[in-house]
Amino acid sequence: MCKGLAALPHSCLERAKEIKIKLGILLQKPDSATDLVIPYNEKPEKPAKPQRPLPEEALQWRDSLDKLLQNNYGLASFKSFLKSEFSEENLEFWIACEEYKKIKSPAKMAEKAKQIYEEFIQTEAPKEVNIDHFTKDITMKNLVEPSLSSFDVAQKRIHALMEKDSLPRFVRSEFYLELIK
């Protein structure tokens, strides 16, 4: 690091002093928890905004809820539309199920399953989805031992409901008509 001390004695000595000062600061016992915070000057990167699709791509959504849900811009537009109608709970449930399927840890899976059940499935849940008693019973039985497929039946029912009901309303909305211009 400090090769040729005779050639660069001044800058090497300054560097050593800087290191000593920084180490001294780090080794001091903090007075409070806020002293433990190390400032990070670099601004975090903002996630990229979903790119507006070409009208041809948006036109495909009329016939395929799956294509709509796979497109970030389409998903965001669909969600905004459903919020404007106060009916976003089905989509939120579907998204929660998709996130649930990505969980690897059994403990986290059980925790997320409980949260999904309490938020969307149980009677009088804050965002209760409209599923029949048979589907609700199957889902409850599946949650005795949570697995990646615990919500599959309910998610498929909600998907079918969105496809039959929400998607046709969306493709007639201003949200969608603006995209296909």
Which structure tokens are listed for 41?
Answer: 């000057």
Q: Parse the chain into domains and list their residue ranges.
A: 55-178
State residue 15's pLDDT score.
Answer: 74
pLDDT tens for residues 85-109? Answer: 999 999 999 999 999 999 999 999 9
pLDDT tens for residues 117-166? Answer: 999 999 999 999 999 999 999 999 999 999 999 999 999 999 999 999 99
State residue 50's pLDDT score.
Answer: 72
State residue 41's pLDDT score.
Answer: 47
- Answer whether 110's CB lies under 8 Å from 146's CB: yes
Cα separation, 16 vs 75, whole angstroms = 55
pLDDT band for position 167 (cuts 50, 70, 90): very high
pLDDT tens for residues 33-74? Answer: 444 444 444 454 555 667 889 999 999 999 999 999 999 999
**Side-chain-facing half-sphere of 79: CA atoms under 13 Å:** 13
Q: What is the mean pLDDT of the chain?
A: 84
Which structure tokens are listed for 94?
Answer: 């579907």
Q: Indicate the CATH number for domain 55-178.
A: 1.10.167.10
Q: Which helix (H) or strand (E) holds 24?
A: helix 9-27
pTM of this structure:
0.71
* Residues 6 or more apart whose Cβ sits within 8 Å of residue 59: 180
Give percent of the chain above pLDDT 70.
Answer: 76
State residue 51's pLDDT score.
Answer: 86
pLDDT tens for residues 6-26? Answer: 444 567 677 767 766 665 555
- 177: closest CA among 81, 51, 90? 81
Higher pLDDT among residues 32 and 137, named by residue: 137
State residue 140's pLDDT score.
Answer: 95
